[in-house]
Amino acid sequence: MKTSNLGYPRIGKSREWKRTLEAFWANTITKKEFHAQMKTRRLEHLQAQSEKGIDLVPTGDFSYYDHVLDTAAMFGLVPERFAYDGGPVPLSTYFAMARGEKGAQACEMTKWFDTNYHYIVPELEQCAPKLVDNKPLRDFLEAKRELGLHTKPVILGPFTFVTLAKGYQPEQFASLLQRFIPVYQQMLQELAAAGATIVQIDEPALVLDITKEEMALFTATYKEITQHVPELALILQSYFEAVTHYQELIALPVAGFGLDFVDGLEANLAAIQAYGFPADKILAAGVIDGRNIWRSDLEKSVDLLKQLSDIIPFERQMIQPSSSLLHVPVSVRQETELDPTIKASLAFCDEKLDELTLLKDVISGAASKEKLAAHQQSYDELIRSDWRKKQEPDAVRAKRTSSFQTRYELQQQKWQLPLLPTTTIGSFPQTKEIRNIRAQWRKNECSTADYQARIQAEIQKWIAIQEEIGLDVFVHGEFERNDMVEFFGEKLAGFTFSKNGWVQSYGSRCVKPPIIYGNVAYMGPMTVEETVYAQSLTSAPVKGMLTGPVTILNWSFVRNDIPKQEVAFQIAAALLQEVQALEQAGITMIQVDEPALREGLPLKKAKRNDYLHWAVEAFRRSTSAIADTTQIHTHMCYSDFADIIEAIDALDADVISIETSRSHAELISAFEHNVYDKGIGLGVYDIHSPQIPEVGEMLALIERALTVLPPSLFWVNPDCGLKTRTEAETVAALTNMVKAAKAARAKMLSTR
C-alpha cells in the first residue's frame, strides 16, 4: 500500500503566495523576483509532503492563479480580445485573462463544482489547441533537479476541461474533445520521455450526471490517448461524489482509478461490491476528507480499507485524501489560541497527510494500537461534549403573511423609489487604515470608543459619497466587518475561529472560514448599531446587511456529526432574531445575502430537490416573521441559475440581485424561458476587475435585461460587494452606473 496526495494548498502557511502575487501586481517586485519567490514556495510544498512520508507527491498542482487557467494557457487558448500572437502565453496575458485589462474584459469566473474555490472559465470559440508550454513537465523536472524527488504529475483531463469551458454549442462537444487528444498525447509522451512513471489525470466530471453517450466519448478519448503512452501508469482521478458510469470506467485501458470514499462513499463502495474491480489495476482510495477540517475516524477508515481488500488487495490500494487539499488550511500547529478540545479534533492539510501515514502504518502493522487509540480519543472527545447535545427545533414561521404583489404595493407606497432604482450590494473599500485599526482594536491596542469613532467616521464619509453619486438606496459600507461570514460567526454561539486557517477562494483572495463546532444560537444584536447610525445621516433608505443561513453554512467548516440542514436551521433561527432587531430599530429594508446557495447544490440531480427544499426553507425561516412593509433583498453570485429559477422564486425575497456581468447574456437568456415576477437586479459591472466600466457599456446591459424583465421590478447594481476595490475605482464606477441608470430611465419615460 502506498500513500498519495492529490494536491497541496498553494497559499503557504502564512499566505506567502498571496503576498508574492499581490506584490507583483503592485509592481513592488520584478518578474524575476516573482518567479524566484514562487519557485521557493513550490519547492517548500513538495519538501513538506515528502517529509510527511507521502509516497506519491504531486507536481503540477501549484499555480500562479488557477489550475484551469493554467490548462488553457498551456494549450494557447487565449481569447482574441487579449491580442495573443502564439507561443508560450506571456505572464501579463495570463493575468489579464484572470483580471481583465483596458479594452479586454476578464474571462468569466465561476465555482469549481460544489466548492468555494473559483476557476477561470476557458473560452473555446476559436479552439485550436497547441502544446505551447508543457507545465507538468517543467514542474516534474524541477522537482527531480532541485529536490531529487520523483513526483506524480497532475493534469486536468480533456473531458472535464471541455465540460467546464464555454463558447460552443452542445453538439460541438465531441468534435472539440477530439481536438484535444493530440495535445494530451504530446504532453504525456514528453513526460514519459523525461522519466515520469505515474500520472494523475483529474476527471471530476465523471461524477456528474453524464449520459451514456458522453461516457462513450470519454471511453473513446482515453483509448486513443493511452495507445500512445503505454509506458505511463495513468490514474483517472474523480472526486466530490461517486462516479456515474462505474462499469464503463473500470474497463478503460489505464493503470488505476481514484474514487472518493467520503462524499461518494455509499455509491462507490456499492459499485465495487456489485461489479468488482479489475485484477490488474490500482484503486486510489480517497478515505481522508479533503474538504473539511475534522480529524478522521481512522477506525472506520481501517474497516473500510479491509472491506475493500476483500476485492482489491492492499498492495493494489493507494490511500489518499478524497480531493485536493487545496480546500483546507495548511497546518493546525500555528493555532495557539483554540480551545484544546477543539484543536485536538482538527486536521488541516499537514495533519491529514499525517493521518494517511498513520493509516498506512496501521494497515501494515508498523503502528501500535496505542497510537491509533490516542488519535481516536482526540476524535471522540468533541463528539461527546456538551457543545453537541441534541437540540429540539423551535416552532417557526417559514412563509410571509402576504403575497409579493401585496407587499410590493405597500413597499412602493412607503419608499417612493424611482424607476430602475440604484443601489450597491453592501461593502465599500476596506482600506489598509481600516484593517489596521480593526487589528489594533482586536489586540487591545485601541480603545473600543476610538475604534467605533473611526468606523463611524468611515460610514459618514461613504454616506456622503453615496449622496453625491446619487444612489437611491444606500448601505453603511460594512467597515466593521472582516469577512461576511466570519463577522457573524464571531457573534453567534457554536462558532470558533482559527488564526491562520486560510484557504484560496479566487486569485489572491483568501478566506478564513469559521468553524462550526457546536449548536448555533443568537447572543444579541450584531449589525443594528452601525446600520442605525448610517440611517441617522440620510433621508435615503439604508439597507441592513446580513449573510444568509445557507451561505454561512456553505462558507464555514461545518460539524459533521449531524445533517447540514439541521445546522442551517439553527443559523436561520439566530438570523431571524437579528432581522427582527433591525426591524424594531427602524431598518425595514434588509438584505440577507445567499451568494453560496447554488454552490451547495448536489452534483447529482437526484439529490438536488431535497437540498433546495431545506435551503429555501432555511432562508424563509430567517426572513418571514416580519411586517409586509419590510423589504427583503438577497444576493447571489457565480452561478448558472437557469436550473434553479423555481427555487430562487420560492425564496420569496422582495428583491434579488444576481452577479452576472461576466456572463450577462447567458443569464438573460434564462429569463427568456422562465418568468420571474419579483424585484431583480442583474449586476451591470464586474467588481473583480480594476477596469472602470463605461456608461454606454452598462446602459447596453440594462437595456438588454429590460427586454425580458419588467422595468417596474428592475434594479441597477454592481455585481457584488466593493470591499476589494479602491475608493477611486468605486466612485468612478458607481458614478457611471448611476448615469447609465438615469439614461435608461429617461429613455423609458420619454417613450411612455
Q: Is residue 142 part of a domain?
A: yes
Same domain, 382 and 442: no
Contact 713, 706 (CB under 8 A): no
Q: What is the 3-state secondary structure (H, E, C) of 91-106?
A: HHHHHHHHHCECCECC
How many domains are there within the chain?
2
Enumerate the active-site residues.
688
Same domain, 417 and 551: yes
Please check the confidence at residue 397 and state whether its pLDDT lies above 80. Answer: no
- What is the average pLDDT across 439-447? 91
pLDDT grade, residue 638 (50/70/90)? low
Residue 510 annotated as lining a ligand binding site: yes
Residue 10 annotated as lining a ligand binding site: no
- Domain with 256 in it: what CATH number? 3.20.20.210
Q: Is residue 428 part of a domain?
A: yes
Q: Tell which of 322, 351, 386 closes a domain.
A: 386
Please check the confidence at residue 683 and state whether its pLDDT lies above 90. Answer: no
Q: Tell which of 353, 386, 419 closes a domain.
A: 386
Segment holding 377, helix H or strand E:
helix 369-383
Residue 17 annotated as lining a ligand binding site: yes
pLDDT of residue 233: 97
DSSP letter string, 79-148: -GGG---SSSPPHHHHHHHHH-BTTBPPPPEEESTTSS-EEEPPB-TT-----S--HHHHHHHHHHHHH-
pLDDT grade, residue 376 (50/70/90)? confident
Same domain, 136 and 240: yes
Please check the confidence at residue 17 and state whether its pLDDT lies above 60. Answer: yes
Same domain, 372 and 408: no
Residue 446 annotated as lining a ligand binding site: no
pLDDT of residue 665: 57
pLDDT of residue 661: 56
pLDDT of residue 393: 66
Same domain, 37 and 90: yes
> What value does the mean pLDDT of the chain take?
93
Residue 659 annotated as lining a ligand binding site: yes
- What is the average pLDDT across 334-341? 93
The bridge status of strand 557-558 relative to strand 509-511 is unpaired
In the block, cell 437557469 appears at 642
Single out the residue of 322, 266, 324, 269 nearest to residue 296, CA to CA.
Answer: 322
Same domain, 118 and 159: yes
Same domain, 417 and 376: no
Residue 111 annotated as lining a ligand binding site: yes
pLDDT of residue 644: 82
Single out the residue of 92, 96, 554 nearest to residue 291, CA to CA.
Answer: 554
Model pLDDT for residues 240-284, shown as the tens digit of each residue: 999 999 999 999 999 999 999 999 999 999 999 999 999 999 999
In the block, cell 486569485 appears at 507
Q: Tell which of 386, 414, 436 closes a domain.
A: 386
Q: What is the side-by-side strand order in the sheet with 198-202?
A: 2-3, 317-321, 282-288, 256-260, 233-237, 198-202, 152-156, 58-59
- What is the average pLDDT across 20-44? 97
Please check the confidence at residue 330 and state whether its pLDDT lies above 90. Answer: yes
- What is the average pLDDT across 555-564? 94
Among 90-104, 143-157, 173-187, 637-651, the least confident range: 637-651
- Number of neighbouring beta carbons within 10 Å of residue 167: 15
Q: What's the CA dihedral at 368, 374, 375, 380 to 10 degrees?
A: 140
Residue 725 annotated as lining a ligand binding site: no
pLDDT grade, residue 598 (50/70/90)? confident
Among 206-220, 409-423, 431-445, 640-654, the least confident range: 640-654
Domain that holds residue 105: 2-386
Residue 349 annotated as lining a ligand binding site: no
pLDDT grade, residue 666 (50/70/90)? low
Residue 637 annotated as lining a ligand binding site: yes
Residue 212 annotated as lining a ligand binding site: no
DSSP summary character for residue 542? B
Please check the confidence at residue 16 and state whether its pLDDT lies above 80. Answer: yes
CA distance 172 to 576: 48
Q: Is residue 398 part of a domain?
A: no
Q: Residue 605 in 3-state DSSP?
A: helix
Please check the confidence at residue 341 and state whether its pLDDT lies above 60. Answer: yes
pLDDT grade, residue 639 (50/70/90)? low
Q: Is residue 495 part of a domain?
A: yes
- What is the average pLDDT across 214-227? 96
Contact 423, 471 (CB under 8 A): yes
Q: Is residue 457 part of a domain?
A: yes
Helices marked H in 493-563: 528-535, 549-554
Same domain, 641 and 671: yes
Same domain, 343 and 202: yes
CA distance 307 to 507: 41
pLDDT of residue 381: 87
Same domain, 192 and 247: yes
The count of C-alpha atoms lying within 13 angstroms of the C-alpha of 679, restricted to the half-sphere facing its C-beta, is 27
Model pLDDT for residues 119-135, shown as the tens digit of each residue: 999 999 988 999 999 99
pLDDT of residue 596: 87
Please check the confidence at residue 19 and state whether its pLDDT lies above 80. Answer: yes
Q: Is residue 397 part of a domain?
A: no
Q: Residue 680 in 3-state DSSP?
A: strand
pLDDT of residue 752: 66
- What is the average pLDDT across 104-133? 93
pLDDT of residue 663: 57
pLDDT grade, residue 396 (50/70/90)? confident
Determine what percent of the chain is predicted with pLDDT higher than 70. Answer: 97
Contact 67, 237 (CB under 8 A): no
Q: Is residue 395 part of a domain?
A: no
Q: Is residue 396 part of a domain?
A: no
- What is the average pLDDT across 510-528? 95
Same domain, 378 and 424: no
Residue 425 annotated as lining a ligand binding site: yes
Same domain, 522 and 597: yes
- What is the average pLDDT across 568-582? 97
Predicted TM-score (pTM) of this structure: 0.89
pLDDT grade, residue 641 (50/70/90)? low
DSSP summary character for residue 474? B
